Amino acid sequence: MSARNRVISAHQESRLHRPPLPAPRGSLSSAVITALHDGGAPPPQETADADPYGDDVQLALYVLYELHYQGFDGVDDSREWDPDLLALRRTLEQRFLSALRADVPGPVRVAQALDELLVEPVGDAGTSVSHYLQREGDLRQLREYAALRSLYHLKEADPHAWVIPRLYGRAKAAMVAVEFDEFGAGRADDIHARLFADLMADLDLETAYGHYLDAAPAGMLATVNLMSLLGLHRALRGALVGHFATVEVTSSPGSRRLARAMRRLGAGPAAERFYDEHVEADAVHEQVVRHEVIGGLLEDEPHLEPDVVFGVQATILLEDRLGTELLRAWREGHSALRATPEALEPGTRR
């Protein structure tokens, strides 16, 4: 058996076990986590003054959304559709969405929004984490980045799959074609979530699903929450397509930089392979998404163009906020994790 196959066989079931409930970060997340732990309903909560981008709101939303994925250890599956939890989630979603709509640049045509994604940053690369890691990041920072991104990549493409039943015709056929590749094109060993678990193993990180939730800052949670929010609401299908397009358009150049960072820092063959795979695949996906998914959607439902643009702009807004947060910590010589950096020490992986 090759070294690569040994890695796959050891880490192919990163989602086999449910993660434990995280530690709360405020009254809202505490209400949600306590209700799930004790089996009761969350008490009424005032959300008007809560920071929509802050730890408390974002952790509460993340936990509520996670009930639709793997759930949590000791939490009954029926809580996924608990009306009290759904009511609180709706209130938090409205707070989050209102902030995003207020903070995005504003309406433009879809073509302009997508073209702007291809403009490379200049100077110190602004908020681009991939530019930083390619050029000057160290192995500790690379491992922190992988640990944080695992909150999405260990369920890569799952949030976007929710939009499939809400599309039809060209848009549906093209969306399924891209998702087919994301899920390994029929080969379990090539599912992108599994490839990321292999990357984490190369970096001596814990590969268990959700392991680094307590370490993730609010900015990281917000980027994952946006996908879940847009995917779970039919009314936001246009915005979900915009989010998906943003991911695919920006993935290939970003992955090329991260692959170089992996090689420069000696991360290992599986770590390199994850990003090499995305360089090639997502260059093709970009064209399919632009011309077939978005083109097909807007041919049938032209009124959704502002929603597609909102999805693009909201994605970039949150990624820029996260990039600013990570780069500020690293450039000041600090860890970007909420938990102690010792959580990533080699040998701590189960």
Confidence of residue 124 (pLDDT cuts 50, 70, 90): low
**For the purposes of burial, counting CB atoms within 10 Å of the CB of 120, is it exposed (0-12), middle (13-18) or buried (19 or more)?**
exposed
pLDDT, tens digit, 9 for 90 and up, residues 97-112: 999 999 999 899 999 9
Which two three-digit tokens encode residue 180?
């087919």
pLDDT for the residue numbered 154: 96
pLDDT at 123 over 90: no
Given this model, what pLDDT does residue 1 score?
A: 30
Confidence of residue 7 (pLDDT cuts 50, 70, 90): very low
Let me know if residue 349 belongs to a domain. no
Say how far apart CA 259 and CA 274 lie, in whole Å: 8
Q: How confident is the model at residue 12 (pLDDT cuts 50, 70, 90)?
A: low
Query: Averaged over 166-183, what is the pLDDT?
Result: 95
278 and 163 belong to one structural domain: yes
31 and 175 within one domain: no
Tokens of 304: 């959704």
* Residue 220 near residue 338, CB atoms below 8 Å: no
Taking 80 as the threshold, does the pLDDT of residue 285 lie above it? yes
Domain's final residue, options 102, 127, 148: 102
From CA 192, how far away is CA 137, in angstroms rounded?
24
At 135 the pLDDT is: 94
Residues 277 and 152 in one domain: yes
Q: By mean pLDDT, which of 54-63, 109-118, 165-174 is the weakest?
A: 109-118
Same domain, yes or no, for 170 and 298? yes
Q: Is residue 43 part of a domain?
A: yes
Quick check: 340 pLDDT over 80? no
Same domain, 272 and 233: yes
Gap between the Cα atoms of 209 and 218, Å rounded: 18
Quick one: residue 185, left, alpha or beta (phi over 0 = left, psi -120 to 50 = alpha)? Answer: left
**In the predicted model, is pLDDT for residue 278 greater than 90?**
no
Mean pLDDT of the chain: 91
CB 133 within 8 A of CB 258: yes
In the predicted model, is pLDDT for residue 74 greater than 60? yes
Residues 217-241: tens digit of each pLDDT: 999 999 999 999 999 999 999 999 9
Assess whether 35 and 172 both reside in one domain.
Answer: no
pLDDT at 346: 53
One-letter identity of residue 79:
R
Q: With cut-offs at 50, 70 and 90, classify the pLDDT of residue 316.
A: very high
CATH classification at residue 179:
1.20.910.10
Supply the pLDDT for residue 121. Answer: 60
Q: Which of 102, 133, 152 is the last residue of a domain?
A: 102
Q: Give the tokens for residue 234.
A: 């039919």
Q: Give the residue-averaged pLDDT of 237-258.
A: 94
What sign results for the dihedral spanned by CA atoms 75, 64, 341, 199?
positive
- Is the predicted pLDDT of residue 15 greater than 90, yes or no? no
In a domain, residue 282? The reply is yes
Confidence class for position 65, pLDDT limits 50, 70, 90: very high
Query: Are 225 and 96 in contact, with CB atoms under 8 Å apart?
Result: yes
Band (pLDDT 50/70/90 cuts) for residue 118 is confident
Q: Which residues of 299-337 are buried (b: 16+ CB within 10 A; e: fewer)?
A: eebeebbbbbbbbbbbbbbbbebbbebbbebbeeeebbb
Rg (CA), the chain: 19
Eight-class DSSP state of 334: -
Is residue 307 included in any domain, yes or no? yes
**What token pair was written down for 89?**
């989630």
State mean pLDDT over 231-256: 94
- Band of the pLDDT at 264, cuts 50, 70, 90? very high
Give the Å distances, CA to CA, from 350 to 98, 205, 346: 41, 9, 11
**How distant is the alpha carbon of residue 190 from its chain centre?**
19
Number of domains, the chain: 2
Task: Determine the structural domain holding residue 247 and report its residue range.
Answer: 108-344
Residues 206, 210, 215: CA angle, nearest 5 degrees:
80
Same domain, 203 and 88: no
Residue 132 falls within a domain, yes or no? yes
The H or E element that residue 89 is part of is helix 83-103
Confidence band of 6 (pLDDT split at 50, 70, 90)? very low
Residues 287 and 143 in one domain: yes
- Percent with pLDDT over 90 in the chain: 80
Pair 210, 294 in one domain: yes
Residue 27 above 70 pLDDT? yes
Q: Are residues 54 and 131 in the same domain?
A: no
**Last residue of a domain, which of 63, 81, 102?**
102
Would the pLDDT of 9 be above 80? no
- Indicate if 157 and 235 belong to the same structural domain: yes
- Considering the domain boundaries, does residue 350 fall inside one? no
Q: What is the pLDDT of residue 341?
A: 55
Would you place residue 342 in the very low, low, confident or very high pLDDT band (cuts 50, 70, 90)? Answer: low
Give per-residue pLDDT as tens, 289-307: 999 999 999 999 999 999 9
Helix then strand count (H, E) for the chain reads 15, 0
pLDDT grade, residue 328 (50/70/90)? very high
In our burial notation (b when 16+ CB lie closer than 10 A, e otherwise), range 177-213 reads bbbebbbbeeeeebbbbbbbbbbbbbbebbbbbbbbb
Extract the runs of DSSP E, i.e. beta strands, from 248-320: none
* Residues 125, 141 within the same domain: yes
Q: Is 91 within a domain?
A: yes
Answer yes or no: is 63 within a domain.
Answer: yes
Angle between helical axes of 83-103 and 55-66 (0-180°, round to 10): 130
More confident residue, 119 or 123: 119
